[in-house]
Amino acid sequence: MHTVQANETDYDISPKKLKEGSIFGALSPDAIQYLLDNGIIHEAHQGDEVFHYNDKGESFYAVLHGSLDFFKQHDHKALHTRDIGFGEALGFVSMIALHDRVGTAYAKEDSLLLEVSSTLFSDFHDQYPFDFGILLMNLARDMARNIRELSNALVSHETESTLEQDS
């Protein structure tokens, strides 16, 4: 994974395009441009590690192009729990909860990522308070969707396990 400038990429990362993504939706073009100008843009090739279990959770990543795989780790076991696509974020929970990463993320394909540090997140609040509220709502909505998907998967798994035990 390496850092690139916004004008060095072949991908369309204009505010108009990024507004199509769930975490950027309803943000003003100026606010999106502020994040692009002040965040760190990473180009990741398929298989590149974005972050590792137990790394400091001092930032989150927004997928500007491509997709990521996330493997949750617990009790020395790792399980793929999420695919993260265009306009979605990963790492926000660790950053906002002030804890280390609970898993490892890899580029599922060649991808372009925007890293938003906790400092930039705070500065964004100061510079664009209205847009900050929208971003926070979008991130919370994204978390809620993930919680629903994971809880549905847990119920499905438990139901299958119960059926197998009853057989």
Can you give the pLDDT at residue 142?
A: 92
Can you give the pLDDT at residue 162?
A: 66
* Rg, C-alpha atoms of the chain: 17
In angstroms, the CA 33 to CA 164 distance is 53
**Which of 8, 92, 79, 93 is closest to 42 using CA atoms?**
8
Which CATH number is associated with domain 2-166? Answer: 2.60.120.10
**Which of 32, 148, 125, 28 is closest to 87 using CA atoms?**
32
- Lateral strand order in the sheet of 49-51: 49-51, 103-107, 68-74, 77-84
Can you give the pLDDT at residue 154?
A: 79
Q: Which residues contact 115 (CB under 8 A, 6 or more apart)?
A: 39, 40, 41, 42, 59, 60, 61
Domain ranges in the chain are: 2-166
Residue-averaged pLDDT of the chain: 93
Kindly state the DSSP code that residue 39 receives in the 8-state scheme. Answer: S
User: Coil, strand, or helix at residue 5?
Assistant: coil
In angstroms, the CA 64 to CA 79 distance is 25
pLDDT category at 165 given cuts 50, 70, 90 is low
**Which of 87, 115, 112, 114 is closest to 11 using CA atoms?**
112
Task: List, for residues 14-55, the tens digit of each pLDDT value.
Answer: 999 999 999 999 999 999 999 999 999 999 999 999 999 999
What are the tokens at 146?
Answer: 């993930």
pTM assigned to the model: 0.90
Task: List, for residues 94-132, the tens digit of each pLDDT value.
Answer: 999 999 999 999 999 999 999 999 999 999 999 999 999
Can you give the pLDDT at residue 16?
A: 96
What are the tokens at 135?
Answer: 């971003």
